[in-house]
Amino acid sequence: MGTIKQFEIAERKRKEKFAKEHKLIDGIDHKICNKHHIYFPDEDPWIHATEEYFYHNDKNMTDHLHPECKRCGIIKSRINQIENEERAKKTKLDWYKDHKELNWKRANEWKEKDHEYALQCYNDWLKTENGKISSKMSYEKRKSKEHQIYDIEWENLKKYFDNKCCYCGLPIEEHWIRYRGKILLGDFHKDHAIDEGRNDIKNSIPSCESCNSSKHNKTLHQFYNPLNPNYTRERYVRIVEWLKGGYKPYILPKRRYKGQRLTSRLKEIEELKSIKMLKTN
């Protein structure tokens, strides 16, 4: 009996609250915003007071809508963000970390839908002060991480890993990439095993585009461990063997300057050897 009476009291309160917040105008249900006390919809009487004007709220058992309209909710949220800037930044970053795939999906959908407008927005941002600084930093970082590997070294490196991605085992014959809007067969990426390490063959391993993007700036052990769905003990051992000295049979003399050909460098070495021999004689 007590439970039935409590239910009746709760139902009566819900109806009273609903009567205060809602009003029939020309036979159409309207809901009042408790902030600026305007009934919605107040322009088109044929539209019901639904989620078009109020955010959905499951906690409100009266009508499952927030008491304030969307405009008031946005203003309230913006004020909270300004007053609690650090907390707002942390919340935003946490959301991006938990919804990376959704965020990338939305961004790609927007780019594909209006590619020209997206490109224009990016170019306009590059002209701003922050854009110039970011662009310069990005260029300097890319420049500092340019690989200094001869073509022969790179081919031998791929052969060492059986022409497969060292992380997931994808064969190079199946490494399809998107390039300028087209799907093409592409070469593997030269991945830095140690992100901030050296740029020569000693610190390079072949990786598919997907694995290279996923690894980003993680260490080898942070990225490639039993929690990685592509992890195998055999591939992990193979990578470690390469980094510990497997590269030695394939290493060639370092370039003296950027872009120097191997033939030119070997010729220089031979000339230096001949000069030393003449001096000793």
Domain limit, last residue, from 98, 126, 159: 98
Q: Residue 42: its pLDDT value, please? A: 61
Quick one: 83 and 129 in the same domain?
Answer: no
Q: Quickly list DSSP for 35-78.
A: TT--EESSS-TTS-SSTTTS-B-TT-TTTSB-SS-HHHHHHHHH
Question: Whole-prediction pTM value?
Answer: 0.53
7 found inside a domain? no
Total tally of structural domains belonging to the chain = 4
3 found inside a domain? no
Q: Residue 74: its pLDDT value, please? A: 86
Quick one: 154 and 237 in the same domain?
Answer: yes
10 found inside a domain? no
Q: Residue 184: its pLDDT value, please? A: 86
Quick one: 162 and 243 in the same domain?
Answer: yes
Quick one: 106 and 87 in the same domain?
Answer: no
Quick one: 154 and 137 in the same domain?
Answer: no
Q: Classify residue 22 as exposed, middle or buried by CB count within 10 Å of its CB (0-12, 13-18, 19+).
A: middle
Tens digit of pLDDT for each residue in 42-96? 655 556 667 788 888 888 777 888 888 888 888 888 888 888 888 888 888 888 8
What residue numbers bound the domain in which 237 lies?
148-250
Quick one: 34 and 77 in the same domain?
Answer: yes
Quick one: 190 and 275 in the same domain?
Answer: no
Contact 248, 200 (CB under 8 A): no
pLDDT (mean) for 35-47? 71
188 found inside a domain? yes
52 found inside a domain? yes
Quick one: 161 and 236 in the same domain?
Answer: yes
